Amino acid sequence: LYFPEDNCPFYRATIFSNYSPYNQPQDDVKLPTLYLADGTKTSSEAKQGPYWSIMLEVSESPMKPVDVANLLKDSIQGLINTEMIKPEDEIVSTYLRSFDHGYPTPSLEREGVLKELLPKLQDMDILSRGRFGSWRYEVGNQDHSFMLGVEAVDHIVNGAVELTLNYPDFVNSRKNTERRLAQTFNFASSATELPTREKQPN
């Protein structure tokens, strides 16, 4: 979710618990409440969930300074302001991490550097791919990063051209009609259950 408004310090929120039930504690896990979202202290007695997890991204630069000392408090207030949480919601865990560089920033010199650097790395059997690996922000989304990996494998195995890496304008200007994830099996008609963390195949 993107937040262009000025009522929160973050510009993006990702609710990781929507991706997998393993991205937060299970409901029966007992955890103490640190405080309520509005900062009020409450009982720290450990109790069961349900739980959910959210990641907030905050950008910072000389043009956009951030109050680092109050960032966590301001972010939780931003969640209240955007109605992602209520003031009385319980906070059981927080984690703050800072990265000096969060995005590859294109420059006029970038292509010249990459044309020298990537072949030198490849000569050492290093295929530097992905948002930070190939430093091409225009093909740095999840779908692009996935295809960079697929095409790198195709290049290694079959000598195929890496379209996403070498022709970003081409892949971004057209619909992909060639490459499709083929579903070649049907679990719905099968008695076999999919393996999970708890149930590994024998």
* Percent of all residues in the chain with a pLDDT value above 70, rounded to a whole number: 88
Calculate the average pLDDT of the chain.
87
Higher pLDDT, 38 or 107: 38
What's the predicted TM-score (pTM) here?
0.65
**Which band of pLDDT confidence, cut at 50, 70 and 90, is reported for residue 182?**
low
Q: Are 16 and 54 in contact (CB under 8 A)?
A: yes
Residue 187 scores a pLDDT above 50: no
Q: 25 or 187, which is more confident?
A: 25
